[in-house]
Amino acid sequence: MHELTFSVSGTQHRLLGKQVRLQFSDGFVLKLTPAEASSLSFALVAVRAGISPEREIYMSPIGSDAAFVGRVLDSGMSISVSGGELEMDWAKVGFLAESLAAAIG
């Protein structure tokens, strides 16, 4: 069982329709369209598996004022949140990717 440092749920935006809500433990929230959630999930899987040489994942979701910024480390990722940096090992990064994919439906 993973210690939850985030939660993923579905929500509805009055103009954008279905969205995926990603909230980190410090209250930092991103609202992603299904396409954005899918892209982020694939990017997380790619860096975790070593398929992508990228060292940073950046996404500015259309429905959020904030952005997802994740720096790739040898042991996982460092994600920028409102309180600073959230360190996630590769198992948690994989769980985040799976949770995003599952929320898309």
Number of domains in the chain: 1
Q: Residues 23, 25, 29, CA angle at the centre, nearest 5°?
A: 25
The reply to whether the predicted model has a pTM over 0.75 is yes
**Strands 56-59 and 29-32, how do they pair?**
unpaired
| Alpha-carbon distances of 96 from 15, 16, 34, 62, 88, rounded to whole Å | 26, 23, 15, 20, 10
Q: What is the pLDDT of residue 11?
A: 87
- Quick one: pLDDT at residue 85? 92
Any domain includes 1: no
pLDDT < 70 regions, the chain: 1-4
Say how many C-beta atoms besides its own lie within 10 A of residue 17's C-beta: 10
> What is the predicted pLDDT for the residue at 28?
92
For 12-29, the pLDDT digits (tens) are 888 878 999 999 987 899
The pLDDT of residue 102:
96
Q: For residues 15 and 29, give the distance between their C-alpha atoms in angstroms, rounded to a whole number.
A: 19
What residues make up the domain containing 41?
Answer: 6-104
Distance separating alpha carbons of residues 74 and 29, to the nearest angstrom: 26
Q: How far apart are CA 77 and CA 87, in angstroms?
A: 6
pLDDT at 48: 97
Q: Is residue 22 part of a domain?
A: yes
Query: Which tokens go with 45?
Result: 């899987």
Other beta carbons within 10 angstroms of residue 2's beta carbon come to 13
Residue 17: inside a domain, yes or no?
yes
